[in-house]
Structure 1
Amino acid sequence: MSKHHRQLGIASQVYMVSLLQRQDRREQMEFLSTIQGLAWAVIDAIPSTDPSVNHILDWVVKEREQLAERLETTIDASSNFRWPREIDAWSVNQGPLEGSGSDSWARKGPPSTKPKDPSNPAARPNLTCAAEDHSVPALMDKTPEWMVLSPAKISCWYSHVSAIRQFVDRTDAHIDDVAVILEDDIDMEMDTADRLSQVWTVLPAGWDIVFLGHCWSNESSYPALTRPSSHASPDNISSSSIEGATNLHPSFAPKCTHAYALSLSGARRLLQHLRYPPFAYSRALDQAYAWLIRSGRLRSYSVVPSVVVQRKTVSSDILPGMGSEWREGLQNGVFGS
């Protein structure tokens, strides 16, 4: 697809992840898409009460039981976790991505697992969110809610994987394709396309993911990327010195998954990590992304300031009330955020 026809200035495909029952959000997103001239594919997120969520949780329990058994026979815990060496090769391969890892978890639980009653909270012990590669903290009375591996977190992970998979599995995929994945509780700058077109000119080759919005992290921790220049002059001063300018920074530890872009190879690379059984569904999705970035598994960049933010004007599907306390505004948002 030529750059002239790219949505938001950068994307060959745009996906909007939304629960079918959240028609209130979908109506708002339809208004946003009309204003921005977007033609996105809607990914129907699965509700946290869907039986597939219970199947996935049963697989997580089984993986952790197997990990505990291995830890009993070894002193070095790190020796029990190794990322597949083939991930780099898989990410650049243009062939079909066959089913593997946790791809089948949603269809049925492990063979040795008895069916759980989703209406009975005591049917399965609460699980904690893993840290780093596979460190699983013990559940305590005072474990904060964000550290509990809830069905809503599983639903979010599965729904985003569905969007990524749809992007990767297209028969007409091109190596230069870019996907933008959005959630249904967002606002964005009116001139998002212009801003992204500008910062994309400094994006290094081989990138995997770009956060168009983020939370709970100072994403300007690393210096902004600039175009190489042999002479300093008023005409080539870095835009990072201009107050309010949109810049691109190497990612620090971005949280939240309400708006991000993926290259085709980055989408394949990310998917390989997200479906690797010891890591799959092990924590909140944004915590997984942040760890993959911090540990050097993904080449990630962040747009600063955010050009897409969470609105937090309607109830959250993940956390109680309006969601987390993080708030961020825009200069000229479609909804005035």
Structure 2
Amino acid sequence: MKVLGNYLHLNLDIIKAVNKYDRAAISKLNKSGLSAGVKACYLSHYSIFESIVKNGYKNGLIFEDDVDIEINITNIMTEVHRKLPSDWDMLYLGHCSEHGSYIETGLTIHVLHKSEHPKCTHSYAVSAKGAKKLLEKLNIIDPYYHLDMQIADFIMAGEIISYSIHPPIVVQFKGVTDLSDVSPGIEGGTDPLMNSTLRILGYDPDGPNS
């Protein structure tokens, strides 16, 4: 993420995620039957929502550490922000298996959809209002499901107001030796971007320098 942030001139705060081997942290969710890895992910995102509220931030943009980003993300987000409805709680920059209902916004290339049931948490924004809602709704003691699926259920029920950018401007980057600190070496499909920053930097999920 530091490589991406520096190249794109993004002022990122690098937050150490909860490790699935951190027994002290994971023990907070001992009532849950979820795996240690799922619990660690849940706690990592939950702590960011707490930080947004505690520090009085207007919103937060969250990237997991195994992503690739459109090279012109700043221009895209400037345009999206002007068209984003004011009632938003969440905005998905990247998502899995999400379609949603189209909103006519007049964006140059990308479009906004009203989210229906977005999956994955590799890149999204959350407003202060949205962070407060998530802290109220998420069960930090005994979560019943993966974080992304719980949030998707809130969205589908109309309890969280969310929008999605299409096509995604942030995707998961999975290779034999990907850049993730949390799940290194987990292979999977890498969706194409119009202008991949990692590929410009020379990273290839199928190549020797991935």
TM-score, length of structure 1 as denominator length: 0.54
| 1:309 is aligned to 2:175 | no
- Superposed, which structure 2 residues align to 1:269-288 within 5 Å? 269-275=133-139, 277=141, 280-288=142-150
Q: Which amino acid aligns with 2:17?
A: A
The offset of 1:161, in angstroms, is 1.0
Match of 1:189 in 2: 70
Distance 1:320 1:186, change over 3 A: closer
The offset of 1:264, in angstroms, is 0.9
Is contact 1:309-1:328 (8 Å) kept?
yes
Match of 1:329 in 2: 192
Give CA deviations for 1:129-155 in whole Å, capped at 9, x if unaligned: xxxxxxxxxxxxxxxxxxxx2110000
Give CA deviations for 1:173-196 in whole Å, capped at 9, x if unaligned: 26xx22101111111011111111
CA distance in 1, matches of 2:84, 2:43: 29
Is contact 2:67-2:171 (8 Å) kept?
yes
Is contact 2:5-2:11 (8 Å) kept?
yes
CA distance in 2, matches of 1:210, 1:191: 18
The offset of 1:318, in angstroms, is 7.3
Is contact 1:202-1:225 (8 Å) kept?
no
The offset of 1:52, in angstroms, is 2.8
Is contact 1:209-1:260 (8 Å) kept?
yes
Q: Which amino acid aligns with 1:267?
A: A
Q: Which amino acid aligns with 1:204?
A: P
Q: Which amino acid aligns with 2:129?
A: S
Is 151-160 or 46-55 further displaced after alignment?
Answer: 46-55
C-alpha RMSD of the superposition: 2.3
Give CA deviations for 1:190-221 in whole Å, capped at 9, x if unaligned: 11111111122221112100000001x232x4
Is contact 2:53-2:128 (8 Å) kept?
yes
Give CA deviations for 1:67-111 in whole Å, capped at 9, x if unaligned: xxxxxxxxxxxxxxxxxxxxxxxxxxxxxxxxxxxxxxxxxxxxx
| 1:150 is aligned to 2:32 | no
2:91 to 210, 224, 230: 210
Runs of 4+ in 1 over 3 A off after TM superposition: 314-321
Is contact 1:152-1:317 (8 Å) kept?
no
Identity %: 33
The offset of 1:281, in angstroms, is 2.4
Q: Which amino acid aligns with 1:312?
A: K
| 1:222 is aligned to 2:86 | no
Q: Which has the larger radius of gyration?
A: 1
Match of 2:45 in 1: 160
CA distance in 2, matches of 1:284, 1:307: 23
The offset of 1:276, in angstroms, is 6.1
Unaligned runs of at least 5 residues, structure 1: 1-28, 61-126, 128-148, 227-237
Is contact 2:68-2:170 (8 Å) kept?
yes
Distance 1:283 1:317, change over 3 A: farther
The offset of 1:291, in angstroms, is 0.8
The offset of 1:251, in angstroms, is 0.5
- Superposed, which structure 2 residues align to 1:33-44 within 5 Å? 33-44=5-16
Unaligned runs of at least 5 residues, structure 2: 205-210
CA distance in 2, matches of 1:317, 1:42: 12
